[in-house]
Amino acid sequence: MRSVKWKEGLETVLFTLPAILLVTVMMYIPFFMSGYYSLTEWNGIAKEPVFNGLDNFRAILSGGSEYMGAVWFTVKYTIGFVVFTNIAALALAVALTQKFRFVNVFRGIFFIPYIMSMTIVGFIWKFIFTQGFAKLYDLTGWAFWNESWLGSPKLAFYSVVFVGIWQALGFYIVLYIAGLQAVPADVLEAATVDGAGRCQRFFKVTLPLLGPSFTTCIFMSLTNSLKVFDIILALTKGGPGGATYSATLQIYKDAFTNNRYGLGSAESILYFVFVLVVTQLVLKLFSSREVDL
């Protein structure tokens, strides 16, 4: 009996060891190295980084870099992305759970953008905003199509948010469809017998029972929007005039473009703490509001 347990324990260790090593090498070691480099001044070329204590953090928090502006942009992007993505995804999920012809075709159409590379999506929409809209303006003469969607700081923000929502919408539609299909039919039938109309059944019965779906979708959309990088890099590269620099893009710029690895590491540490606190608070808030049958 003891030998069987020993073999099972050995198999468990052998099967999990590669994954543990990979996660350690790819995540934990770089994280602790980043913590060390955040206390130094290093250009990535010199043999030894120069220890400067908390100077990098002081520079960031005192407004000595563009980092805080990038964080503020990311917060605004996150709010727009989370709110409109979940509203649109829920509305479309309700429509796509109805019985009509080609419903599965429409589900697939909405999901296709999600399986595309975000960089490719960014380049596609960059072409649409510049060349495609110009052609539409020539055909219709509507001033709407002639706006500088990527050249105006205000419009560039809305363009980036729109493209992010368009790309990710299908994934959240699938999650909400799964939640809607998991709502017990007998509960809805009981509400109907009690005289509840369609709107009352949806808002009083279905929505409260979608609590787990809301928690999952809000949490995932929050984390995905807080780490937005490649769509912005492909669409605007942070322009115009740095108006669309996200926190992750600013960290990349400081570390790998400006060769200020110490400052970039300090920014990444601060952003890690910020994301950790925000996501845990949101997760706890929505988890506490879930309704159990």
Q: Domain for residue 46, yes or no?
A: no
Q: Domain for residue 27, yes or no?
A: no
* Structure confidence at residue 6 (pLDDT): 78
CATH number of the domain bearing residue 151? 1.10.3720.10
Q: Domain for residue 166, yes or no?
A: yes
Is the CB of residue 70 less than 8 Å from the CB of residue 246?
Answer: yes
151: pLDDT strictly greater than 80: yes
Q: What are the pLDDT digits (tens) for 277-291?
A: 999 999 999 888 776
Q: Domain for residue 34, yes or no?
A: no
293: pLDDT strictly greater than 60: no
DSSP 209-254: HTHHHHHHHHHHHHHHHHT--HHHHHHTTT-STTTT--HHHHHHII
| Tokens representing residue 56 in the block | 């990098």
Residue with the larger pLDDT of the pair 16 and 293: 16
Q: Domain for residue 24, yes or no?
A: no
Number of domains in the chain: 1
Q: Domain for residue 138, yes or no?
A: yes
Q: Domain for residue 250, yes or no?
A: yes
* Structure confidence at residue 8 (pLDDT): 78
* Structure confidence at residue 260 (pLDDT): 92
Q: What are the pLDDT digits (tens) for 267-280?
A: 999 999 999 999 99
65: pLDDT strictly greater than 80: no
DSSP H or E stretch at residue 40 = strand 40-41
Q: Domain for residue 266, yes or no?
A: yes
Q: What are the pLDDT digits (tens) for 197-208?
A: 888 888 888 898
- Domain of 111, in residue numbers: 64-288
